[in-house]
Chains A and B, each alone.
Chain A
Amino acid sequence: MALFPKYSKTQEGQNVIMEQRLLKAVNNLILNAETCTGCGICVDACPEEAIALGPVGAARRGAVNNAAPVDVNPEKCSYCGVCVIMCPFNAMTLKIDGEERLPILEREGFPTYDMVTVIDEEKCSRCTTCDEVCPRDAIARDVPAFEGGDEAGRPRQTALQTKTTFTVDTEKCDVCGICGELCPSITVARKPANPETGKIEGDVLWEESTCDACKICVEACPQEAITVEREVISDKLPGKVEIEQENCCTCTWCVHTCPQEAITVEKLFEGEIEINPEKCPGGCSTCVEVCPCNALYLPAPVPAKEMKGEIEPNIAINKDFCILCGACVNACPSEDAIILRRTAIRMKDKETDLFKRIKEKLLTPRTSKVKEATPGEVEVKVLETAEEA
């Protein structure tokens, strides 16, 4: 028995590490079982047919211990890195001698996804919506914390750029000291009581940087001696919101929900997803749980008097958010409930022959299947052959 090459597969936390050890060189393909969605694009992309789909639904739900949605055979794998390039969720990493590298790209032997993920800085108001709706945690909202969202955050007035003026009518002011008692921005500097004059005199001092123009001093002044005016120079929150391209799956949730219409994202795939709710057995919702884009949902039942002879369907999709990844088809335990038809893939750089073969596979329409041939592996039902748009 030959000692080299030596193959192994080990689990380290959420990572499954495939290894090919030659005499000196070591190749590692690392699958992050946590970010892997079970979409199966790597299965179609693998030139060596080394990747198989596993129990997608159970793995994503955490119902089985130590199971990843896909399974890579470390012996069949040629450590080419095509799966790393094609994974839309950045769940695969290739390491050559411990270093993250993709030689196939270095030699320009394979195209990459043509990602478009832009946030128009000008339009973006730094609101929190995209950060909240993004199902992949791909929004990097680099905006300082303020006291509303975080008690230890910055004072709210520092969010705006303002010019504030504070004036005291010295005629009216009797240096009573109330404003200073109320506000940390105001100091009433009284002169010592002087029996010679028998009067109280002094100055009202004000600090702009801490004033938030709340005007409580104006309202509390018994002599109506204070005027506060604020001019807003800029109401733009400081900081920046960006999309982390490697985490973005192009679902466009942020695009559709951005109140400023500041975001442009192009989907990776074109095509159609067809849902046949009458084929859904109900009570499953595996597709809803595995969908990486939060596009599938169980339609809410309507009150009895509004049903109008119709019962809500068992399953539905919001196509705006679907990226045609195929995880739902792989996880669905029924037959024909979800049909996926991809027609184009957004790529940049030259389409090599290898890529063209992969593309043909990816564009093959598919749906799920009840009785599969190999136990433990998911097999989809291939419909008619690919049609290119």
Chain B
Amino acid sequence: MPKKIENVGCPYCGVCCDDLVVTVSDDGKKILEVENACAIGNQIFHHATGSERVTRPRLRQPDGTYKEISYDEAIDYAARVLYNAKKPLIYGFGSTNCEGMAAAAKVAEKAGAVLDNCASICHGSSFLAIFDNGYPSCTLGETKNRADVVVYWGANPAHAHPRHMSRYSIFPRGFFTGKGQKSRKIIVVDPRHTDTAQVADIYLQVKQGHDYELFNAFRTALRGHEIPEEVAGIKREKILEVAEIMKKARFGTIFYGMGLCHSDGRNHNVDIAISLTRDLNDYTKWTIMAMRGHYNIAGPGVVWSWQYGFPYCLDLTKDVAHMNPGETSSIDLAMRDEVDAFFNVATDAAAHFPIEAVKHLRKHPWITIDPNICMASEISDLHIPVGIVGVEVPGIVYRMDNVPIQYRKVIDPPEGVISDEELFERIYKRLCELEAEEAAKGKAKTTPVGVHAEE
């Protein structure tokens, strides 16, 4: 009898749907059906038991091909790279559990590495704005149960967070929002008429890169001052109309995404959005929330803040942790060639970093720790596969509103494959051993076995 497992968490986007029902075959080896997940989430589960999985670490050979090695050998290689590097960079962590993040931080601390997560190319600008201006936010349940006005500003959940609208913001019928979508006004601000704009009551087609001006206009209008005829491509009457709707809301939430974080102004777009939220609270209740990307990208922020006091861009090369995005962020370090080893963990820096940064990083040892074959694994010197969190490995993940959710395991990882947490614990142990060995025999560093991959 195939087994149905309920309350399964989806390891893809920041909505962290935890209502999935997964049917597993008799022998517990194959995922037969995934209910409730969106198409993306569905694919994650089916992919897990697909035939294309890598089940052993792979080390680059002189001829450019990969050769399977044992976990012990891989761990030794990784530990030696860290041990020998002056300033290694350990980056990623959007897609693993908090246990893995804590173990990796332990390794980074021991190795004197820079520890960074995907926030630095994503919502890192949000953190900067939050440091400046605060974060008047809420949990998603509050939006579901109370919000009668919802703004998506520079975000396209229809494509990026597919069940966000149906679980939390537009369609659900909450306690005080019994009429569901009919109890809410949806406002979408985006230069493109996205599929999210399609379901909006009001769509503001802002000129790309002019969000700051539009926020300014809203704040000015809210305070009852004159605004120009047109701002950022939006007519005055429309701005006044929307400002009035926001002012009259019972409870509002602004969700924002890469439209603000990736466009001109970066953190300043976010900090004026926060200022607008704070202003609105003079009249009624307003909250703001970053549409965090990966299912556990809020995790490293929480875990490392608790461990070191800083959410990202952590420089652990000295005894005291230091954080200064712009100086200690992955892309900046790569572009200035300040690091001499790169660990790609639970992410794909090769696909998603600017190519110039990838070219710099590729000059040094590159180790990928990831369940799957991806661009990063394909340009690595060493690829260590791990179990997929939420499918094969349980653990804590933090949703976009920083609510922790316990993810379950639905099947066993492929025979012999270990978790991120176990891998980092073993690298840590190996690092300690190396340190002890070296201390015993004095300074004589060995180069790691294996060959650096060709360009």
Interface residues, chain A, with chain B CB atoms under 8 Å away: 281-285, 298, 301, 303-304, 311, 314
| Distance A301 CA – B178 CA, assembled complex (angstroms) | 10
Question: A282 touches which one: B148, B182, B250 (CB < 8 A)?
Answer: B182
| Distance A281 CA – B179 CA, assembled complex (angstroms) | 8
Q: Do B179 and A282 have beta carbons less than 8 Å apart?
A: yes
Q: Do A301 and B181 have beta carbons less than 8 Å apart?
A: no
Question: Quick one: which of B33-60 are within 8 Å of A by CB?
Answer: none
Q: B residues within 8 A CB of A285?
A: 179, 182
Report A313 CB to chain B, min CB distance, Å: 8
| 22 sampled A-B residue pairs with Cβ under 8 A | A281-B173, A282-B173, A282-B178, A282-B179, A282-B180, A283-B171, A283-B173, A283-B179, A283-B180, A283-B181, A283-B182, A285-B179, A298-B182, A301-B148, A301-B176, A301-B183, A303-B250, A304-B250, A311-B175, A311-B176, A311-B178, A314-B179
Number of B residues with CB within 8 Å of any CB on chain A: 12
Interface residues, chain B, with chain A CB atoms under 8 Å away: 148, 171, 173, 175-176, 178-183, 250
Q: A residues within 8 A CB of B148?
A: 301
* A283-B173, A301-B183 as given contacts; A314 in contact with B250, CB under 8 Å: no
| Distance A311 CA – B148 CA, assembled complex (angstroms) | 14
Chain B residue with the shortest CB-CB distance to A299? B179
Question: A301 touches which one: B171, B175, B180, B250 (CB < 8 A)?
Answer: B250
Chain A residue with the shortest CB-CB distance to B175? A311
Report B139 CB to chain A, min CB distance, Å: 19
| Distance A191 CA – B176 CA, assembled complex (angstroms) | 82
Give the one of A283, A284, A285, A314 with max B CB within 10 A.
Answer: A283
Q: B residues within 8 A CB of A282?
A: 173, 178-180, 182-183
Report B50 CB to chain A, min CB distance, Å: 37
| Distance A304 CA – B182 CA, assembled complex (angstroms) | 18
| Distance A314 CA – B174 CA, assembled complex (angstroms) | 12
Q: A residues within 8 A CB of B171?
A: 283
Report A65 CB to chain B, min CB distance, Å: 18
Q: Do B182 and A284 have beta carbons less than 8 Å apart?
A: yes
| Distance A284 CA – B171 CA, assembled complex (angstroms) | 10
| Distance A76 CA – B56 CA, assembled complex (angstroms) | 72
Q: Which 9 A-B pairs have the closest CB atoms?
A: A283-B180, A282-B178, A282-B179, A282-B173, A285-B182, A283-B181, A314-B178, A283-B182, A282-B180
Report A171 CB to chain B, min CB distance, Å: 55
Q: B residues within 8 A CB of A284?
A: 182
Report B325 CB to chain A, min CB distance, Å: 40
Chain B residue with the shortest CB-CB distance to A302? B250
Q: A residues within 8 A CB of B179?
A: 282-283, 285, 298, 314
| Distance A181 CA – B182 CA, assembled complex (angstroms) | 59
Report B184 CB to chain A, min CB distance, Å: 9
Report B372 CB to chain A, min CB distance, Å: 39
Q: A residues within 8 A CB of B250?
A: 301, 303-304
| Distance A291 CA – B186 CA, assembled complex (angstroms) | 25
Report A235 CB to chain B, min CB distance, Å: 37
Q: B residues within 8 A CB of A314?
A: 178-179
Q: B residues within 8 A CB of A303?
A: 250
| Distance A303 CA – B175 CA, assembled complex (angstroms) | 15
Give the one of B171, B175, B182 with max A CB within 10 A.
Answer: B182
Report A183 CB to chain B, min CB distance, Å: 38
Q: A residues within 8 A CB of B181?
A: 283
Give the one of A285, A301, A303, A311 with max B CB within 10 A.
Answer: A301
Chain A residue with the shortest CB-CB distance to B180? A283
Q: A residues within 8 A CB of B183?
A: 282-283, 301
| Distance A315 CA – B135 CA, assembled complex (angstroms) | 37
